[in-house]
Amino acid sequence: MKITVLCGGTSSERDVSYASSLRIIEALRSRGHEVFAVDPATGPIDAATEQTLRKSGVKTEPPTVEELERLQRNAITATLGSIPEVRSADVVYIGLHGGQGEDGTVQALLDMGGIRYTGSGHLASALAMDKDLSKVLFRAAGVRTADWLMAPADLATVERKLGLPVIVKPSKQGSTVGLTLVKKREDLGPAIEEAFRHDDEVMIERFIAGREFTVTILGDKALPVGEIKPKHEIYDYECKYTKGMAEEEFPAQLTEAQTADAQRQALAAFRALKLRGCARIDFRMTEDGTFYCLEANTLPGMTELSLAPQGAAAAGISFSELCERIVQLATETRP
């Protein structure tokens, strides 16, 4: 099969996308597929550039806002469907994270060109990326999620409706970019300002203290629940992409009832957003065993430290098999 992997892009998760996509490319080639790489920011990637990128890895900090703005000004995303490697592919594997790769923009462009691709459609992708709308749909589907407000919101309103601490984050970002855990009253304003540097909408959410868990959905099946134990208080960018900064346990040490509850809610969240293919649903669990859904990730990371591959491995699915299954699920949808 001829497969083109979209990688890099113009979001703050550009480095993560490369780390994920290079592993995906290698895995699909090992299964006998003809695989090409295209960066929506710069165009097709040749073999020499691919080798250089393999040595780069994920930095401890995402690209700066200024670096991303320069990329966005010169990006070729709008002409993606006309690139020969994309146009002629049997399946386009979307290895992008965040931004236009995960918010439905790229999916809509591929839909317009009649090009088959992995993951969720443009509407589902947009819904999942918008944390405000996601939480509305989660609650409508019976999925528990923490109370929240959208900025602007003054300190008195936040304290009355949510209390402290709270999480302040861009409403349409990933990998905890621009996210702050606010414990002190005087830190709320600066946290909101920082989040607005990364998005035009900012969410203020009640902080759920407790253990952190994740469930990967593959097709219509929930994979084993995993627990994340970050070195920091929250599972931030550094903990996610720096070796040794977090421990993951698959399957998580939970009771059968707790495992079933997490998987049930993950599937309900997946269906509420009309997701397809592979997605990861994240939770926090309080001391009394109550799960609260944090968000849905429609294009989960595939780096060496990422959670979805670990969930698949716990189910007896190798990394190369996981990538191929994601491709197979794409072939079952209409181009």
Task: Given the residues 21, 120, 134, 175, select the one marked as catalytic.
Answer: 175
pTM of the model: 0.90
Instruction: Judge whether 170 lies within some domain.
Output: yes
What is the band of 206 on the pLDDT scale with cuts at 50, 70, 90? very high
- Domain of 262 in residue numbering reads as 129-144+209-316
Looking at the structure, do residues 231 and 283 belong to the same domain, yes or no?
A: yes
Instruction: Identify the residue with better confidence: 247 or 12.
Output: 247
pLDDT tops 60 at residue 34:
yes
Q: Over the stretch 38-57, which tens digit does the pLDDT of each residue have?
A: 999 999 999 988 988 887 76
Q: What is the pLDDT of residue 208?
A: 95
140 C-beta neighbours (distance < 10 Å), count:
9
Annotation marks residue 295 as catalytic: yes
Q: What is the pLDDT of residue 91?
A: 98
Instruction: Judge whether 124 lies within some domain.
Output: no
The full DSSP string for 124-152 is HHHHHH-HHHHHHHHHHTT-----EEESS
Annotation marks residue 142 as catalytic: no
Q: Over the stretch 116-135, which tens digit does the pLDDT of each residue have?
A: 999 999 999 999 999 999 99
Q: What is the pLDDT of residue 198?
A: 84
Looking at the structure, do residues 139 and 252 belong to the same domain, yes or no?
A: yes
Domain boundary among 206, 229, 253: 206
Q: What is the pLDDT of residue 261?
A: 98
Annotation marks residue 306 as catalytic: no
Looking at the structure, do residues 6 and 72 belong to the same domain, yes or no?
A: yes
Annotation marks residue 241 as catalytic: yes
Looking at the structure, do residues 134 and 241 belong to the same domain, yes or no?
A: yes
Domain count, the chain: 3
Instruction: Judge whether 37 lies within some domain.
Output: yes
Residue 53 and residue 21 in contact, taking contact as beta carbons nearer than 8 Å: no
Domain boundary among 206, 229, 247: 206
Task: Given the residues 236, 282, 284, 306, select the one marked as catalytic.
Answer: 282
Task: Given the residues 241, 277, 292, 324, select the one marked as catalytic.
Answer: 241
* Angle at the Cα of 230 from the Cα atoms of 226 and 235, rounded to 5 degrees: 85
Looking at the structure, do residues 217 and 312 belong to the same domain, yes or no?
A: yes
Looking at the structure, do residues 223 and 269 belong to the same domain, yes or no?
A: yes
Looking at the structure, do residues 235 and 298 belong to the same domain, yes or no?
A: yes
Q: What is the distance between the alpha carbons of residues 268 and 125, in angstroms, rounded to a whole number?
A: 16
Q: Over the stretch 174-203, which tens digit does the pLDDT of each residue have?
A: 656 788 999 999 999 999 999 998 889 999
Looking at the structure, do residues 310 and 179 belong to the same domain, yes or no?
A: no
Token reading at 12: 């703050």
Instruction: Judge whether 199 lies within some domain.
Output: yes
Looking at the structure, do residues 230 and 198 belong to the same domain, yes or no?
A: no
Q: What is the distance between the alpha carbons of residues 196 and 329, in angstroms, rounded to a whole number?
A: 36
Looking at the structure, do residues 202 and 62 belong to the same domain, yes or no?
A: no
Backbone angles phi, psi at 138, to 5 degrees: -60, -50
